[in-house]
Structure 1
Amino acid sequence: MPTVTSADGTTIAYETTGRGPALILVDGSLCHRDFGPARALAEQLADRFTVHIYDRRGRGASGDTQPWSPEREIDDLAALLDAAGGEAYLFGASSGAVLAADAANRLPGFTRVVLYEPPFIVDDTRPARPATFRPGIEAMIARGDDSGALKTFFRDVGVPGPVVAIMKLTPNWKKLKGLAHTLPYDLTILGDTSRGEPLDSSRWSAVTAPTLVLDGGKSPQYMRNAARALSEALPKGEYRTLPGQTHIIKAKALAPAVKEYLTT
């Protein structure tokens, strides 16, 4: 398995498929190459792009040098960008969309970007996330209550209680527990974007790449409003809805929109 070494010495595992211009995919919370939508999406995109999928630090086969910081996750993407030849397209989903936008703000080698449903809360269409939310997750993880942290997270993002109870009985719950320690990472990347207030566009004022922000037509309204808000905050942002889609990515529905934007 190929790896790159990030600026702080952390080993980041990745793999490549397809032919064409380089495209790096960034996962959201609780996902990595072998657990989440990245591999299926890469397969759908491989006919047009050389697609790089990777394990974000603390996940899968990548390292987790402490102290963690958002800047170090951007350094990881800088190392992958170098491995891809110094220039690439970029795709990010959910909290990975926020990381991708932050990376595009700092790294000019990303020439065109697609983002899917950044999980901001920018208005009153759902309750704001309390300031105690991330510290509470961190406290549960610190005392070894990974299941409690996961349950709290899933309930916050709208997964019904009975569904969470069923999830806890499945083999995937053990995999999720192995990733629970990264929940504070993604919540930190979100920063103060969950308070029900408009986005601070200065955060992404240096993004020079044309950027498409997508949402699903059946997603919660607060997520759709967040996607539109990010498109308006980006210097070269566009907004589009994929009819019939939700926050759960379906590669066959998403890939055509990604291809169209990156190749026109």
Structure 2
Amino acid sequence: MTDQLTLHAKSADGTRIAYHRFGEGRPVVFVGGALATAAAAAPLATAFAEAGLQGVTYDRRGRGGSGDTAPYAPEREAEDLRAVIDAVGGAAVVLGHSSGAILSLLAAARGVPVTHLFLSEPPLRFGRDEPPADLAARLQALVDDGRDEQAVLLFLREEVGLPEPAVEQFRASPAFAGLLPLARTTVYDNRLVASVSTPTAAMLEVDVPTTVLRGDPTMPLLVAAAERLAAAMPGAELVVVPESHDHGVDPAGTVREVRARIG
């Protein structure tokens, strides 16, 4: 099952946000992480559709079929998510992964209409071992100079924290070239995560049923972040999805856990 066409929602600042709908029924909006487009989430959205829900994917600004309006701010991305939710019915279950989980939580704290919140492996550091404070400026300089490959590599090293052998293995993979058009969004993801790496009180107190998800195995940073976030949010539930490995999102396992919690 695939979506029929690319649709567009208009964000508050006029940016066109491309989104896709899979199936019918209650919408579940997926918010992807760094260096990812909506296309990568098609298998997950299809799994939601096969479970009787409507899987919704979208390209965050600056990616895929979406526009990009300067200046960037994390709040604009929260407005983008609101525009997509408005387009698919006015309220939705939201599943965010990685930096997309941080964006989802930020959006919920800003009043975006979320009925259930699922936060998959948010890379929150709570003030510990934060990336260098000048990383956004260095990433921006590389992008401005047209050095997209170097920007992506720098992001993987200093924001994601991949060891050098893993960076070089990734660089040699066929998938690496597909990341280069997304190089400018490394600045966005760094700024988004850095702005709320220690979540605000409003984020921790969102009045939305919240489930924190993580895979097994995954990066130690993400294990610690999931545990700390769940402990800091009153009523939040921490769930390990054993089918999800190494910062991936397994469609069947994830849909099972979401379906069990939204009724």
**Cross-structure match for 1:113:** 117
Which whole-Å deviations, capped at 9, do the CAs of 1:12-34 have from their partners, x for residues lacking one?
11110122211111000011112
Q: How do 1:174-193 and structure 2 match up within 5 A?
A: 174-192=177-195
Question: CA–CA distance in 1 between the matches of 2:99 and 2:246?
Answer: 15
**Cross-structure match for 1:6:** 11
Residues 158, 120 of structure 1: CA spacing in aligned structure 2 closer, same or farther, 3 A cutoff?
A: same
User: What is the deviation of 1:129?
Assistant: 1.8
Question: CA–CA distance in 2 between the matches of 1:121 and 1:223?
Answer: 9
Q: Structure 1: which 5+ residue stretches go unaligned?
A: none
**Cross-structure match for 1:167:** 170
Q: Structure 2: which 5+ residue stretches go unaligned?
A: 1-5
2:42 to 16, 36, 39: 39
**Cross-structure match for 1:30:** 35
Residues 29, 78 of structure 1: CA spacing in aligned structure 2 closer, same or farther, 3 A cutoff?
A: same
After alignment, is 146-155 or 231-240 more displaced?
231-240
**Cross-structure match for 1:19:** 24
Asked if 2 retains the 8 angstrom alpha-carbon contact of 1:122 and 1:222, the reply is no
**Cross-structure match for 2:230:** 231
1:66 aligns with 2:70: yes
**Cross-structure match for 1:136:** 138
User: What is the deviation of 1:113?
Assistant: 0.8
**Cross-structure match for 1:148:** 150
Asked if 2 retains the 8 angstrom alpha-carbon contact of 1:118 and 1:223, the reply is yes
Asked if 2 retains the 8 angstrom alpha-carbon contact of 1:99 and 1:189, the reply is yes
Question: CA–CA distance in 2 between the matches of 1:236 and 1:143?
Answer: 47
**Cross-structure match for 1:262:** 262
2:83 to 79, 85, 89: 79
Which whole-Å deviations, capped at 9, do the CAs of 1:68-127 have from their partners, x for residues lacking one?
111111111111111111111000000000000011112252111111000122376xx4
Give TM-score scaled by structure 1 length.
0.89
Q: Secondary structure at the residue paired with 2:142?
A: helix
Q: Secondary structure at the residue paired with 2:38?
A: coil
RMSD (Å), alpha carbons: 2.0
Q: How do 1:242-257 and structure 2 match up within 5 A?
A: 242-243=241-242, 245-257=245-257
User: What is the deviation of 1:181?
Assistant: 0.3
After alignment, is 156-165 or 68-77 more displaced?
156-165
Q: AA paired with 1:260?
A: A
Give aligned-pair identity as a percent: 36
User: What is the deviation of 1:130?
Assistant: 2.0
Higher relative contact order (CA 8 A, sep 6+): 1
Q: Secondary structure at the residue paired with 2:239?
A: strand
Q: AA paired with 1:106?
A: R
User: What is the deviation of 1:211?
Assistant: 0.5
Q: Secondary structure at the residue paired with 1:185?
A: helix
Count of residue pairs brought into register by the alignment: 255
Question: CA–CA distance in 1 between the matches of 2:11 and 2:200?
Answer: 28
Asked if 2 retains the 8 angstrom alpha-carbon contact of 1:201 and 1:234, the reply is no
User: What is the deviation of 1:246?
Assistant: 2.6
Asked if 1 retains the 8 angstrom alpha-carbon contact of 2:135 and 2:190, the reply is no
User: What is the deviation of 1:148?
Assistant: 1.2
